[in-house]
Amino acid sequence: MNDPLAPSERYLQGMATRRAVLGDSHVDRVQSGSTDFDRPFQELITEAAWGHVWSRPTLSKRERSIVTIALLAALGQDDEVAMHVRATSNTGATRDDVCEALLHVAIYAGVPAANHAIKIAKQVFDQMDAEKAA
């Protein structure tokens, strides 16, 4: 008999993919800060975004990373852009990939959105370089 409180297979797959993309420290930090209020949301995105979409085999993590950064930049989701730029160290997306994605954003979603996302990406890459050098 299945335990109704046990995590679903989709959740477990989603958590594995989420950790592979965002890193254990990020996921652990989010999990430890989760409350009764936002826990259902965390479960939803783990199953839906990470278990259903990011875990699909058709696109690589690199390709999904590029698409995600472009979409988030187009939508002006600054914190999410920064998080996913940082995740490129785990997905295989290169700085050139991010640059190309943001050029597409400039043409299809607007220069201001791309300009702001480029500023964010530069800051994140600078932080990553500083962390690597330390």
Yes or no: say if 69 and 93 are a contact pair by the CB < 8 Å rule: yes
Q: Give pLDDT, residue 6.
A: 85
Yes or no: say if 18 and 27 are a contact pair by the CB < 8 Å rule: yes
Q: Give pLDDT, residue 5.
A: 74
Q: Right CATH number for 60-134 from 3.40.50.300, 1.10.10.10, 1.20.1290.10, 3.90.1150.10?
A: 1.20.1290.10
Q: Which two tokens stand for residue 23?
A: 């890193």
Q: Which two tokens stand for residue 89?
A: 């160290």
Mean pLDDT by 10 residues, the chain (134 residues): 79 98 97 96 97 98 98 98 98 98 98 98 98 95
Residue spans in the chain of domains classed CATH 1.20.1290.10: 60-134
Q: Which two tokens stand for residue 46?
A: 């783990």
Q: Which two tokens stand for residue 20?
A: 């592979």
Rounded alpha-carbon distances, angstroms, from residue 92 to 14, 18, 21, 53, 85: 19, 15, 10, 18, 11
Q: Model pTM?
A: 0.93
DSSP state, residue 3: -
Cα(122)–Cα(3) distance, integer angstroms: 46
> What value, to the nearest 5°, has the Cα angle with vertex 134 and ends 81 and 28?
50
Q: Give pLDDT, residue 122.
A: 98
Measured in residues, the chain has a length of 134
